[in-house]
Chain A
Amino acid sequence: IAGITQAPTSQILAAGRRMTLRCTQDMRHNAMYWYRQDLGLGLRLIHYSNTAGTTGKGEVPDGYSVSRANTDDFPLTLASAVPSQTSVYFCASSLTGGNTGELFFGEGSRLTVL
């Protein structure tokens, strides 16, 4: 089934460790996004990429980095995890960039930083 695959599904991590959340899509969408979901705050955009080779900062980019070497993959890296980065992370994609809506989401990666 076509769609977005995220890995890992869940992870417990010690503070200060480096972590990369993986995201792959097979829909040949141009744009990809990373959101974090926290209780009472909805979904907040971390970073986005309108097309392969380009990235941009979202609403809450600090402590996170991304890369977009090709159309299909959009990994999110926490260089040195902190407890406030405990959250559920969703990768999403859309056919066109500009964050214009109609996003397709992965199933999420639950990250706990101790």
Chain B
Amino acid sequence: GQQLNQSPQSMFIQEGEDVSMNCTSSSIFNTWLWYKQDPGEGPVLLIALYKAGELTSNGRLTAQFGITRKDSFLNISASIPSDVGIYFCAGRIQGAQKLVFGQGTRLTINP
């Protein structure tokens, strides 16, 4: 079953606003990944996190590996139209090899 809870499921924002989304689980993870999927495309890796507490930026994107190892967040600053898409968190549970995905956050931006 689903082991990651991603929220919110959808967001409608104005261009220029900051965005925040997160994933939580009852399991302990040792890897967190954030992917973005554009319409009609496959997901593309944005940020990878491998240590608890790790904070990593990629341009206007910042992601953190929660200190409890059960959560992660992704922030997008000063959103622009090309940020539209579906964002997925994914993680590898400690002791397991399987990568599990969140349900996705659909981001819509009003110009």
Contact = CB atoms under 8 A, between A and B. Distances in A.
Nearest to A90: B42
Interface string A29-53: 0000001000011111100000000
Contact of B98 (A4, A42, A59, A106): A59
A99 B90 CA distance: 11
Interface string B37-62: 00011111100100000000000000
B31 interface: yes
B11 to A, nearest CB: 16
Given A42-B102, A42-B103, A43-B101, A100 B43 contact: no
Nearest to B102: A42
Contacts of A35: 101
Q: Interface size class for chain A?
A: 20 to 34
Contact of B92 (A40, A92, A100): A100
Given A40-B103, A41-B103, A99 B98 contact: yes
B90 A101 contact: yes
A45 B48 CA distance: 19
B66 interface: no
Interface string A92-103: 100000111111
Interface of A: 4, 35, 40-45, 58-59, 90, 92, 98-108
